Amino acid sequence: MIKYVYTIFLSIGLVTANAKSKEVSGIIITLNNDTIHTVFEIPVRSNGQPRFDKLVPQITYIDKRGNKNVLVATEAKEVQFQLPGQPLERIVSHIPKTLAPSRMAKNGFFLRLIEDGNVRLMEWHSSKWVEIHFRKTEGGAVIFKNDFGIPKQMLIGLFDDCPALQKKLRNNEYNLKTLREIAQYYNKNCAQ
């Protein structure tokens, strides 16, 4: 009896350890704003949802000759794909302004775009947590939300060009659970 239970657990562990991938059509937007139509290998969970944590360091695509290639963030502005029954996903590149001698600093990484506009809301996925990034298009502040949250004053300071939004934040009309709504409000009412 114990032998069978051990075999079942071992089999389940092997299945879950091997990430499945789906081939899906999509586009790469290059650094020169050219559009390349290609096929991506997108890692997926058992429920069919993309494994964004596997897309952070690199994205695998298949070229016209059928060769697999690896795309890193320093080689593209954005990647777009849509899995069957899922919304369009936009993955944008981020090159950190750091001198840290790591692979991520050298090649950058990809972030999932949640809201686009003068303020972009993006997610950085790891296998253990998700960080939320706000980025103002004029190169302004980038703030992060993770398990520790964002200090309220930092969030208010990011929107110093939008007094109406600052007032809403001070009055707790928005909070850390409504980050998408904050970005949408700014882009609709305050962006120039």
Q: Which SS3 state, helix, strand or coil, does residue 71 take?
A: strand
Angle between helix axes 179-189 and 163-170 (nearest 10 degrees) is: 150
Alpha helices in 63-151 (DSSP H): 103-107
CA 126 to chain centroid, in Å, comes to 10
State the pLDDT at residue 66: 93
Instruction: Please tell me the total number of residues recorded for the chain in this structure.
Output: 192
Q: For residue range 56-88, list pLDDT tens digits in order.
A: 888 999 988 999 999 988 899 999 999 888 888
CA 100 to chain centroid, in Å, comes to 21
Query: In the predicted model, is pLDDT for residue 117 greater than 80?
Result: yes
State the pLDDT at residue 139: 54
Percentage of residues of the chain with pLDDT beyond 90: 28
CA distances from 113 to 20, 122, 173 (A): 23, 5, 24
The residue ranges of every structural domain in the chain are 20-115
Q: Which SS3 state, helix, strand or coil, does residue 111 take?
A: strand
Query: In the predicted model, is pLDDT for residue 149 greater than 90?
Result: no
Complete edge-to-edge strand list for the sheet that includes strand 59-62: 68-71, 59-62, 35-44, 20-30, 76-81, 89-94, 109-115, 119-125, 130-136, 142-145
Report the pLDDT averaged over residues 134-151.
Answer: 60
Q: For residue range 86-111, list pLDDT tens digits in order.
A: 888 988 887 665 544 444 556 677 88
Report residue 135's pLDDT band, with 50, 70 and 90 as the boundaries. confident
By mean pLDDT, which of 1-5, 8-12, 65-69, 134-138 is the weakest? Answer: 8-12
